[in-house]
Structure 1
Amino acid sequence: MTTPYIDGAPETAATGPLIVSGLDGLRRAVGAQLGPTEWLQIDQARIDGFAAVTGDHQWIHVDPVRAASSPFGSTIAHGYLTLSLCNYFLPQLITVEEISMGINYGSDRVRFPAPVTVGSRVRGRGEILECTDVPGGVQAKIRITAEIEGSAKPGCVVETLNRWMA
């Protein structure tokens, strides 16, 4: 697997994460297209586990028999489960080297255009939208899209705010 590096103009990561060198490399990466990641299958055990941790046991997520008669034909992943997978995809999309740490700072926009049905496969794609200097580091806004295999619409699109510190 080859991994693209950026030390000049943005490049598209075809396989593996885009690797940037330090905060200057991150600043130069604005506009870079990231991914896609490998596919991840969404099974009922993952959905049930998310329900157990969050306390969200709505039948459309955890009752396969009842959900079979729903408009979706099966259980669906929680929207926030799909959102949380965007953080799972992030290190598969970009690695920033020569920093002390990276932290999640928040999100500017989150949408769930299509339901993720049990048994679906999802993967991440990204784009570095902007970088802003913050005390001690750089804040990057990265749009992450959780694509659903075979679907014209994604399961989630989020503009994440991530901080990488010197």
Structure 2
Amino acid sequence: MPRQIHLRDVAALVGTELGVSRWITVDQATIDRFAEATDDHQFIHTDPARAAAETPFGGTIAHGFLTLSLLSAMNFDCVPKIAEQTMGINYGFEKVRFLAPVRSGARVRGRFLLAEARFRGAGMLAVRYDVTVEIENEKKPALTADWITIIQFDPKDRPTTA
């Protein structure tokens, strides 16, 4: 997949996997910083000894929302940029499912399929990705999501076929 695409080419890419991100290590320091930022200090995330003794995970696990928050970095890493884009906005999620825990020290990556792209108004394109966050050496993904972003562009750049 090229690193950059044009608005006129987006419709033809619906149903296509746009990219797979690099692996990101989710270590205990990252989990602890996320706990501080969100004030979520549940022991399954922040106390390795207790999590090893009292959970089936063998140690601490990342917050589900930490894994979800990595989607922006994953997207930036591998999804082609739209040449005419002036700004991108996170619009939200239709569905998010947390399927498997991400153990401290594990590596995750995102897989992005362009599920839908539709023009809204003169200068916006709504894009929906089917996203899967894989855990290295695990069969089950950490999460799946239907993620919607809005691509803004100058209305003069809107394809005439749109």
Output the TM-score relative to the length of structure 1.
0.86
Q: Return the match for 2:76 from 91, 100, 103.
A: 91
Q: Deviations over 1:66-106 (max 9, x none)?
A: 01121000100000000011121111221111221111111
Question: Which residue does 1:146 correspond to in 2?
Answer: 133
- Structure 2: unaligned runs, 5 residues or longer: 154-162
**Does the alignment pair 1:111 with 2:97?**
yes
- Alignment root-mean-square deviation, CA: 1.1
Number of residue pairs aligned between Structure 1 and Structure 2: 150
Tell me by how many angstroms 1:32 deviates: 1.5
**Identity level (%):** 43
Which structure's relative contact order is higher, taking Cα pairs within 8 Å and 6+ residues apart?
A: 2
Secondary structure of the residue aligned to 2:41 is coil
Structure label with greater radius of gyration? 2
Question: Which residue does 2:64 correspond to in 1?
Answer: 79
Secondary structure of the residue aligned to 1:133 is strand
Q: Return the match for 1:125 from 111, 122, 136.
A: 111
Report the AA paired with residue 104 of structure 2.
V
Question: Which residue does 1:11 correspond to in 2?
Answer: none
Question: Which residue does 1:64 correspond to in 2?
Answer: 48
Output the TM-score relative to the length of structure 2.
0.88
Quote the Cα distance in structure 2 between the aligned partners of 1:96 and 1:59: 42
Question: Which residue does 1:37 correspond to in 2?
Answer: 21
Native 8 Å contact 1:126 1:142 kept in 2: yes
- Structure 1: unaligned runs, 5 residues or longer: 6-17
